Structure 1
């Protein structure tokens, strides 16, 4: 996830590149710096995407193995984006507790 510091770094690098383009300058270090910042962002986003996919695959596997129980329920809750703090309500319903 990008934070405010990362966004400010990117903005600063883009401002420097814009200044160079407007003033017909050719300092390669500005381009290299911008390319490094973008590559860093891409790497972080790819990592976060992979972790999200991996988590979903584990939920799907659990749902296949336990299609009428907790595995399926966890997949349904994750797909519905129910906050984890409310999972116990649904677990009680699955057990037959009613709430």
Structure 2
């Protein structure tokens, strides 16, 4: 009976490829926190960390460019929404104050 050939076993790749940049991961995490818990602070951190991560990714060739871009976009959108809702809220408050003032209350 002839010997069976040894089945090929899986081995880890010798070069796993580029790593995901840590600042890009932190930026997307800050963006997530900036849209939920720490609205102003998290969004600002996402924008700053995203831009720093983009510079590092360009220099090192690591992965994470899309994460950094999304962090910046989410941070900007959240800041714009925060400013718009603040302006609308102040306008609504002023309207209520004026209406109660004209009633003589």
TM-score w.r.t. the length of structure 2 is 0.47
Richer in helix (by share) = 1
Structure of larger gyration radius: 2
